[in-house]
Amino acid sequence: MDAERDDELRRFKSTARKWVTREAPKDYARELEGKEHEFPEGLWDRMSAAGWHGVGIDEQYGGQGGDVRDQTILARELSRTLAGLSWVWGLTSFAGSKSVGIYGTPEQKERFLPKIAAGELRFSIGFTEPTGGTDLLGAMNTFATQIDGGWVINGDKTWSTGASTSDYILLLARTDRSASKRHLGVTLFLLPRKSEGVKVTPLPKLGLRCLSSCQISLKDAFVPDDLVLGEPGQAWHMLLPTLNNERILLAAFCLGIIDGVLEDALAYMQQREAFGRPIGSFQALQHYVAEIAMMQYQIDLVLNDVSTRLSQGEKCFRETTMAKVIASDAAVKSADMGISILGGMGYSAETDMQRYWRDARLWQIGPVTNEMGRNIIAEQLGLPRSF
């Protein structure tokens, strides 16, 4: 059975690679990036037609089936050309299909999953507070008050990527102000973005320009009881397993960026001449591509190991955090060396190296900073909590 599954995964990888090369090439990604705050509807539709939104969703809900290994393969292949624009797929995959698929009621699964798989619904995430950053729980000032038939929510969120064009926001809010511990008394809501009292404002930023990141203001926004995800007050315990999925997908996106960087660097080094010979013969530049290739190989091994273990039901919280930190650091370093290899053209918007660097740099910061990731790893190794 393992050999059959491995063959299936190889075929899926080949299919995804061919699709990306044909339907989402690098020049198309550069064109999309030139349209700030303009959601790439065409890319979304191409992904819908290919069935990518259904990867990881059970076939009974109209999905393609598969597990975290299929998701990481697709994430890596998309990111080879799209870099950060892979989040056009990844956001709904995590916030919608994964979260609803694990914690949704049977009615919620029937309501949402078929439409997600068909590309008819988009999701975004509303976790980060304006004054909190990584300190989601300590800084949480978004509160939900229960009333007859639902909840009234007030507060603010920030850096909610895709919120301006999503149908639903996976929103984290405190529902019990007297909880004995700060990780208790928080609840997840599937907030309709067009609800009265919800104001979404795009923010200017360095990368992922056509996929807006937003400030969300909530003033007496109402969410009915049937859009509460999971058990009220227990959201933090629910989130930990799904954060595994987010971190391993992010590691896969970063590995895809490294794939793209190496691909472009090798092509340029074989074409560009200086001092009467191809620059690929220069020892310093050869060391750069060797470094990039070694990081690519190392992260490939890590990603395969962790995704396989996750697919077998292991928790792997420490390992997914490690994968995220290792991969994002390596992606930034690779893209930076790629810029150096291309020289002035590496800094030019006519090529992709600067785009790879801009997008990879974000993933050292979010969804958890690499500094905080290292703190988490150290704590899980038995050291006292440092935050």
pLDDT at 134: 82
| pLDDT at residue number 224 | 97
CA distances from 186 to 222, 229, 244, 327 (A): 17, 11, 19, 31
Residue holding tokens 């916030």? 95
Which residue type occupies 343?
G
- pLDDT score of 156: 97
Angle at the Cα of 86 from the Cα atoms of 227 and 44, rounded to 5 degrees: 65
The arithmetic mean of pLDDT across residues 196-204, rounded, is: 96
**245 or 277, higher pLDDT:** 277
Hey, what are 165's tokens? 């064009």
Instruction: Tell me the pLDDT band of 180, cut-offs 50, 70 and 90.
Output: confident
Q: Assign 123 a pLDDT band (cuts: 50, 70, 90).
A: very high
pLDDT at position 179 is: 86
Asked: is 125-233 a CATH 2.40.110.10 domain? The reply is: yes
Distances (CA, A) of 181 to 3, 138, 186, 385: 47, 10, 10, 16
Residue 1 has pLDDT above 70, yes or no: no
Report the topology of domain 236-380: Butyryl-CoA Dehydrogenase, subunit A; domain 3 (1.20.140)
- Give the residue-averaged pLDDT of 113-124: 97
Per residue in 8-30, pLDDT tens? 999 999 999 999 999 999 999 99
Looking at per-residue pLDDT, the higher value among 37 and 76 belongs to 76
Taking only the tens place, the pLDDT of each residue in 105-118 is 999 999 999 999 99
DSSP conformation letters of 117-182: HTT---EEEE---TTTTT-TTTT---EEEEETTEEEEEEEEEEEETGGG-SEEEEEEE--TT-SST
Q: If pLDDT is split at 50, 70 and 90, which confidence band does 239 have?
A: confident
Residue 133 has a pLDDT of: 81
The pLDDT of 171-177, averaged and rounded, is: 94
Q: How many CA atoms lie within 13 A of 124 on its CB side?
A: 25
φ, ψ of residue 156 to 5 degrees: the values are: -140, 145
Q: How large is the average pLDDT for residues 310-322?
A: 94
For residues 106, 112, 115, 118, the Cα torsion angle rounded to the nearest 10 degrees is -80
Pairing of strands 277-278, 273-274: antiparallel
Contact 80, 20 (CB under 8 A): yes
Tens digits of residue pLDDT in 66-106: 999 999 999 999 999 999 999 999 999 988 888 999 999 99
Q: What is the pTM of this model?
A: 0.95
Please give the pLDDT value at position 387. Answer: 84
Q: Provide the CATH topology of domain 2-120.
A: Butyryl-Coa Dehydrogenase, subunit A; domain 1 (1.10.540)
CA distance 21 to 260: 11
Question: What are φ and ψ of residue 313, in 5° steps?
Answer: 95, 5
Question: Residue 55 in 3-state DSSP?
Answer: strand
Q: What are the domain boundaries of the chain?
A: 2-120, 125-233, 236-380
Is the backbone peptide bond immediately before 367 cis, with ω within 30 degrees of 0? yes
